[in-house]
């Protein structure tokens, strides 16, 4: 895996940025053992989630736990792919989606459907950003959090809470 630069990390995961693409860091575990990791972004034709499913996902991972640390919450298009294709074909996969920012085209109803299907969905916290920094970024300096990280977390958390528990 080629590590990403600090600039790339901050430009995608930064809370005051609006990158044109989603970035996705992933970890695949078999029981407690990390067996694969990497990071990717959108292509001209596919969203990062589609790239993972189509190019990175391996048959050997069909009974694994997968963590996605993504810069944006998944859009409805990607959630529909997860709900209608990926999860039904891989019922033994446990998927965790940890997102940095709420994407405007993420519907609460699809978030709730993913949760009902067993997908664990969370907002990134400082330890999550730190994990991504330490595992995926080539940097000699430590991770410096954004000033409004807690405010973003609270806003995204309440949006996610409303989505998961049907409060609109």
Whether 166 shows a pLDDT value over 80: the answer reads no
The CATH number assigned to the domain holding 59 equals: 3.40.140.10
Rounded CA-CA distance 71/23 in Å is: 5
The residue segments making up the domain with residue 72 are 6-165
Calpha distance 152→163 (Å, rounded): 16
> Residue 167: what pLDDT?
65
1, part of any domain: no
pLDDT of amino acid 51: 96
pLDDT for the residue numbered 88: 97
pTM over 0.85: yes
Overall domain count for the chain: 1
Q: Which two tokens stand for residue 5?
A: 């630069």
Is pLDDT of 7 > 80? yes
**Among 48-52, 83-87, 103-107, 136-140, which is the least confidently predicted range?**
103-107
Q: How far is CA 121 from CA 11, 46, 140, 144, in A?
A: 23, 22, 31, 24
Give the pLDDT confidence score for residue 104 in this predicted structure. 85
pLDDT at residue number 98: 98
- Per-residue pLDDT of 15-46, as tens digits, reads 888 887 899 999 999 999 999 999 999 998 99
pLDDT band at 168 (very low <50, low <70, confident <90, very high): low
Residue 19 forms part of a structural domain: yes
Asked whether residue 154 is domain-assigned, the answer is yes
Q: Where are the beta strands (DSSP E) in 60-165?
A: 65-72, 94-101, 120-123
Q: Is the dihedral of CA 82, 85, 89, 91 positive or negative?
A: positive
pLDDT in tens, 142-154: 999 988 888 889 9
């Amino acid at each position: 895996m080629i590590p990403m630069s600090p600039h790339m990390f901050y430009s995608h995961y930064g809370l005051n940025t609006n990158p044109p693409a989603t970035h996705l860091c992933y970890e695949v575990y078999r029981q407690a053992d990390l067996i694969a990791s990497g990071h990717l972004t959108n292509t001209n034709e596919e969203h990062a989630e589609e790239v993972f499913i189509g190019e990175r996902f391996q048959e050997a991972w069909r009974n694994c736990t997968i963590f996605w640390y993504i810069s944006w919450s998944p859009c409805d298009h990607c959630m529909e792919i997860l709900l209608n294709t990926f999860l039904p074909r891989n019922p033994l996969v446990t998927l965790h989606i940890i997102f940095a920012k709420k994407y405007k085209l993420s519907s609460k109803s699809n978030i709730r459907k993913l949760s009902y299907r067993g997908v664990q969905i969370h907002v990134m916290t400082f330890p999550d950003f730190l994990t991504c920094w330490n595992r995926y970024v080539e940097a000699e300096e430590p991770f410096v959090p954004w000033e409004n990280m807690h405010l973003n977390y609270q806003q995204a958390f309440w949006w996610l809470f409303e989505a998961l528990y049907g409060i609109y």
